[in-house]
Amino acid sequence: MAVAVLAAKQSRDPHTQVGACIVSSENRIVGIGYNKMPNDCTKAFPWDKEAASRLDTKYPYISHAELNAFVNKTVVDVRGCRIYVTLFPCNECAKIIIQSGIHEVIYLLDKYPDKDETRAAKRLFENTGIHCRKFKPKNEKDPVDFYSVFGANQEQSN
Ligand SMILES: O=c1[nH]c(=O)n([C@H]2C[C@H](O)[C@@H](COP(=O)(O)O)O2)cc1CO
């Protein structure tokens, strides 16, 4: 999860930085990603959350951290791997996770539990038997500030 948090820090999204890290059954990191605009689109698209038209917000353009972790993977097959994500995945990322054969999702924050995208993702995971669990730092003296990517108050937001 520390690697996912570090990856999130690369994100230019001014509101929510997300990181993802795929780890094999042998505990090797095989993919890392963060939420970003597609290559060569960085300047062309807005980071706004709201606008008169959804087409003028970031949402139709942003490439999610999980997708980028898959795009960046260093192995052909990620079946049996687990994925660490700093934010509970949306339904679109849940579909990629399921189709790829990832068997466990470990998330840091469930910031948007009432969004349809999150609820649909949970249904997808439940129906496919993918184990989801909230990450718990091993001890309170852990040197990584796991919640720093979201600001001080986000831990309570789920
Ligand atoms: O699973 C995810 N993966 C991921 O990378 N994201 C990204 C998309 C956006 O850049 C950001 C969410 O933005 P916001 O919190 O402002 O709505 O997080 C969002 C989700 C969950 O929706």
40, 85 in Cβ contact below 8 A?
no
User: Does 31 sit in the ligand 1 pocket, CB within 6 Å?
Assistant: no
Integer Cα distance of 9 and 158 in angstroms: 21
**Domain boundaries of the chain, sorted by first residue:** 2-10+19-34+65-153
> What is the pTM for the complete model shown?
0.92
Q: Report how far ligand 1's centroid is from the alpha carbon of 34 (Å).
A: 10
132 marked among binding-site residues: no
15 marked among binding-site residues: no
* Averaged pLDDT of the chain: 92
What confidence score (pLDDT) does residue 155 get? 47
Which tens digits make up the pLDDT trace of 29-76?
999 999 999 999 988 999 999 999 999 999 999 999 999 999 999 999
Which tens digits make up the pLDDT trace of 90-117?
999 999 999 999 999 999 999 999 999 9
User: Does 16 sit in the ligand 1 pocket, CB within 6 Å?
Assistant: yes
Percent of the chain with pLDDT strictly greater than 70 = 91
User: Does 49 sit in the ligand 1 pocket, CB within 6 Å?
Assistant: yes
Whether 12 shows a pLDDT value over 60: the answer reads yes
Assigned CATH class of 2-10+19-34+65-153: alpha beta
Residues annotated as part of the active site: 66
Closest-CA residue, ligand 1 atom 8, reads 64
85, 105 in Cβ contact below 8 A?
yes
41-47 contacts: CB < 8 A, separation 24 or more?
42/12, 47/12, 47/13, 47/14, 47/15
93 marked among binding-site residues: yes
Percent of the chain with pLDDT strictly greater than 90 = 84
User: Does 96 sit in the ligand 1 pocket, CB within 6 Å?
Assistant: no
